[in-house]
Amino acid sequence: MRASDPESELVDSLCERVRERLPDARRAQGESFIRQYYRWVPPGDLSDRTRSDLYGAALSMWDLAQDRASGEVKVNVYNPDPDRDGWESPHTVIEVVSDDMPFIVDSVTMDLARRSYGIDLVIHPVLRVRRDAGGHLLEVLDPDADAPDAIAESVLHAEIARERDPKQLADLQAGVERVLDEVRAAVEDWGPMRDRANRLIDEFEERTPPVDPGEIEEVKSFLRWVVDDHFTFLGYREYDLVIDRDGAGLQVRPDSGLGILRRPPEHPFNRLGPKAVRLALAPISLVLTKANSRSTVHRPAYLDYIGIKQYSPEGDVIGERRFLGL
């Protein structure tokens, strides 16, 4: 029997608590939230939890969801305390409420695994809700309800081995927030990054660089393959090639970053070594390699690096357009 079945003793007992304990004005929304919160959770995953703790966990998440501005990601990391929170757990709990986006569960659980936390439980319903102009939760809709102003929101509850160190708890919350910020940036900028790749194809066709024409055709074919859903765009940034008496380096172009490269870098100028200078000036238009860092979004693979050189009208290399992804 699924927890979503109307006759489910588990969900019905939790909704009975809602009717007993919440004021009239909150009962309908609270009951709708609980029914959808536990809808797809296998009863076996909850068999060792008391009704009181299941009720308290759902209400805690519901409280977090009460007010949320458009685009805001709300994160709460804590050790439930019965006196403070109304329920208890032997685990540390991570709660997230955000716009529904790809990669949320993958990215958060990947970050937890990278920190060597064992994951005991994950609950992740996607709810359709209505909010007022100030972001206050007005209604939790039935999945098939017809509501043009409905918003799809991702609700994530994860439980990990208990972390007692307050500093580690704060670091854990900051890490989850940082990962979700990168997820949001990558999802929001996916279209513009794809447009940049298409624009490069047009640029090569309008103004052929001074390199082997056969190579340019291969580069264009590769970029067409990339934008045809064969590459997960995660970051993009543009660089100027600066040559001076000390050698050469790459200077970030302000406001050119997208996705996970949206934030300005700590070091906007990177001096190149002799080998990198020779590669930068070589008559090849495409640099394809692996970055030296793993992705924090989607899956823990080393990022793929696609660099497309930019040329002056005289045929000199003057910069690079860089994509990161998987």
Residues across the chain: 326
Does any domain span residue 3?
no
Instruction: Say whether both 144 and 177 belong to one domain.
Output: yes
Does any domain span residue 1?
no
Instruction: Say whether both 37 and 180 belong to one domain.
Output: yes
Q: Which residues have a Cβ under 8 Å from the Cβ of 77 and sit 6 or more positions away?
A: 92, 93, 94, 95, 169, 172, 173, 176
At 132, which helix (H) or strand (E)?
Answer: none
Band (5; pLDDT cuts 50, 70, 90): low
Rounded Cα distance between 119 and 157, Å, is 11
Number of structural domains found in the chain: 2
Q: What does the pLDDT read at residue 313?
A: 86
Arithmetic mean of pLDDT, 104-129: 96
Torsion sign across C-alpha atoms 12, 15, 21, 25: negative
Stated pTM of the model: 0.89
Instruction: Say whether both 162 and 306 belong to one domain.
Output: no
Rounded Cα distance between 120 and 35, Å, is 22
Question: Which burial class, exposed, middle or buried, applies to 312 when counting CB atoms under 10 A from its CB (0-12, 13-18, 19+)?
Answer: exposed
Residue 259 belongs to domain with CATH number: 3.30.450
Instruction: Say whether both 98 and 22 belong to one domain.
Output: yes
Instruction: Say whether both 179 and 279 belong to one domain.
Output: no
Q: Which domain holds residue 230?
A: 190-325
Rounded Cα distance between 171 and 116, Å, is 14
Given 3-state DSSP classes, what are the helix, strand and coil percentages for the chain, each rounded to the nearest 5? 40, 30, 35
Structure-block tokens of residue 137: 């939760």
Instruction: Say whether both 177 and 229 belong to one domain.
Output: no
Rounded Cα distance between 58 and 56, Å, is 5
Among 169, 188, 207, the domain-final residue is: 188
Does any domain span residue 4?
no
Does any domain span residue 109?
yes
Rounded Cα distance between 128 and 139, Å, is 9
Instruction: Say whether both 204 and 139 belong to one domain.
Output: no
How is 291-312 classified by DSSP, letter by letter? EEEE-SSSS-SEEEEEEEEEE-
Residue 94 has pLDDT above 70, yes or no: yes
Rounded Cα distance between 130 and 159, Å, is 28
Does any domain span residue 15?
yes
Instruction: Say whether both 248 and 167 belong to one domain.
Output: no
Arithmetic mean of pLDDT, 314-326: 94
Tell me, rounded to whole angstroms, the distance of Cα 35 from its chain centroid: 26
Among 146, 164, 188, the domain-final residue is: 188
Instruction: Say whether both 162 and 206 belong to one domain.
Output: no
Band (43; pLDDT cuts 50, 70, 90): confident
Q: How many CA atoms lie within 13 A of 10 on its CB side?
A: 25
Average pLDDT along the chain: 93
Arithmetic mean of pLDDT, 216-221: 95
Rounded Cα distance between 160 and 120, Å, is 5
Structure-block tokens of residue 243: 């040559």
Arithmetic mean of pLDDT, 114-120: 95
How many CB atoms neighbour CB 285 within 10 A? Answer: 23
Residue 1 has pLDDT above 50, yes or no: no
Among 172, 188, 204, the domain-final residue is: 188
Instruction: Say whether both 159 and 246 belong to one domain.
Output: no
3-class DSSP assignment, residue 172: helix
Instruction: Say whether both 58 and 93 belong to one domain.
Output: yes
3-class DSSP assignment, residue 153: strand
Instruction: Say whether both 45 and 177 belong to one domain.
Output: yes
Arithmetic mean of pLDDT, 260-283: 91
How does strand 151-161 pair with strand 247-252?
A: unpaired
Arithmetic mean of pLDDT, 21-39: 94
